[in-house]
């Protein structure tokens, strides 16, 4: 029953202060006008109540929408910051990786160069030692052969002299 609700609302709503204080109706006055005024006030108060409720609901929905938007914005900002941080970390990692790779390749190239230089130096020293050893060997062989020839010549000469002396002694002895 709408009249009962209006009555409850009207009873709960405070009366405006500019309203005249209620006077008890006089015996001959009609109470219908007073009732109509009360019903009109109750209806106005109910309409105001419903409108206030709607405004409250709209304000709640607006606040909820703002909170949802703020939440979405915060999530988006966090996602962007995370992506930026990840991107910067990836760039830093790739830069470090490239730098480390270059340093390793430079180190390997230097080590290879040092190895090749050392190998070349060792080959050269080895070749020089072989040449020197061959030269020393050839000189030693040549000296040995010369000494052998000299010794053989001396031995032949001594043998020839000994044979000549023997033949001389033998031929003298036969005569």
Q: Determine the Cα–Cα distance for residues 74 and 102; give it in Å rounded to an integer.
A: 41
In the numeric block, the tokens 């005569």 are attached to 175
Q: Which residue has the higher pLDDT, 161 or 113?
A: 113
pLDDT at 10 over 80: no
Least confident of 52-56, 76-80, 134-138: 134-138
- Residue found under tokens 């209006």: 6
Q: Which residue has the higher pLDDT, 26 or 162?
A: 162
Q: What percent of the chain has pLDDT over 90?
A: 52
pLDDT for position 102:
94
Are 33 and 69 in contact by the 8 Å Cβ rule? The answer is no
C-alpha span between 69 and 52 (Å, rounded): 25
Q: Nearest-CA neighbor of 10 among 29, 28, 37, 31?
A: 37
pTM of the model: 0.42
C-alpha distances in Å from residue 4, one per residue of 1, 40, 43, 54: 6, 14, 11, 22
DSSP string for residues in 115-138: HHHHHHHHHHHHHHHHHHHHHHHH
Buried b (16+ CB within 10 A) or exposed e, 49-75: eeeeeeeeeeeeeeeeeeeeeeeeeee
Token pair in block for residue 123: 């080959």
Indicate whether 28 pLDDT > 90: no
Q: Judge whether residue 171 has pLDDT over 90.
A: no
- Across the chain, what does the average pLDDT equal? 83
Q: By the 8 A CB rule, do 52 and 19 touch?
A: no
pLDDT at 71: 95
E-state strands within the chain: none
| Residue 5 contacts residue 46 (beta carbons within 8 Å) | yes
Task: Look at the block and give the residue holding tokens 């009609």.
Answer: 30
- Where do the domains of the chain lie? 2-11+31-174
């Amino acid at each position: 029953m709408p009249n009962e609700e209006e009555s409850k609302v009207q009873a709960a709503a405070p009366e405006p202060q500019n309203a005249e204080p209620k006077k008890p109706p006089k015996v001959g006055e009609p109470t219908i006008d007073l009732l109509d005024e009360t019903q009109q006030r109750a209806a106005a108060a109910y309409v105001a109540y419903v409108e206030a409720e709607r405004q409250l609901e709209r304000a709640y929905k607006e606040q909820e929408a703002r909170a949802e938007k703020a939440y979405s914005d915060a999530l988006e900002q966090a996602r962007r910051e995370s992506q930026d941080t990840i991107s910067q970390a990836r760039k830093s990692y790739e830069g470090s990786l490239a730098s480390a790779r270059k340093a390793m390749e430079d180190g390997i190239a230097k080590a290879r160069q040092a190895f090749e230089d050392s190998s070349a130096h060792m080959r050269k020293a080895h070749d020089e030692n072989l040449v020197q050893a061959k030269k020393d060997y050839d000189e030693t062989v040549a000296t040995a052969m010369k000494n052998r020839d000299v010794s053989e010549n001396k031995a032949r000469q001594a043998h020839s002299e000994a044979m000549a002396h023997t033949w001389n002694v033998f031929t003298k002895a036969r005569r």
